Amino acid sequence: MPPREPREHIGYLIWQLSQAYAIRIEQAMRPLRLTQAQFSALMHLSTYGAMSSAELARRCGVTPQSMGTAVQGLTERGLVERRAHPTHGRIIEISATPQGEELAVRAEQAIAPAEEEALSPFGAQERARVRADLQRMLATLNPHTLPSGD
């Protein structure tokens, strides 16, 4: 029996979709001088508030090393700041500065056309279903990226 066509494998489809979407996000972030990891970090910090670098890495789905590099770049630009945790002195929390929160809003606006393009084949109810299905898959494969009850 011959192997199935690549398009019949969910992994192949997800990978191809991810690659195509990542190119669009990278292009949208370039004028803002943000990497995808930095964009994700700003979005999480602006939405959920201060957190450790390790927690931020888990939520963004990147390695701690990659997050360290992303945070360093954001810190140098004054978009995030690091402070000792109020009750756990050994933990350093990262939070978005007002400039970082402003840039997060601009970045979200910058990616809106890419999201619209990706969802253009679907009607309103289908779009909600696509989001829900993708969130369910992600919650199964990497539950840390979708915090619950924050």
Q: pLDDT tens-digit profile of 134-144? A: 999 999 998 88
Q: CA nearest 115: which of 2, 28, 37?
A: 28
- 1 pLDDT more than 90: no
d(CA 66, CA 64): 5
Q: For the residues 123-130, what does the mean pLDDT come to?
A: 95
Query: What does the pLDDT read at residue 150?
Result: 43
pTM to 2 decimal places = 0.85
Classify domain 6-142 by CATH number: 1.10.10.10
Mean residue pLDDT across the chain:
92
Query: What does the pLDDT read at residue 148?
Result: 61
d(CA 115, CA 107): 12
Q: For the residues 94-110, what does the mean pLDDT come to?
A: 97
DSSP codes, 59-116:
HHTS-HHHHHHHHHHHHHTTSEEEEE-SS-TTPEEEEE-HHHHHHHHHHHHHHHHHHH
Block residue for tokens 């770049």: 73
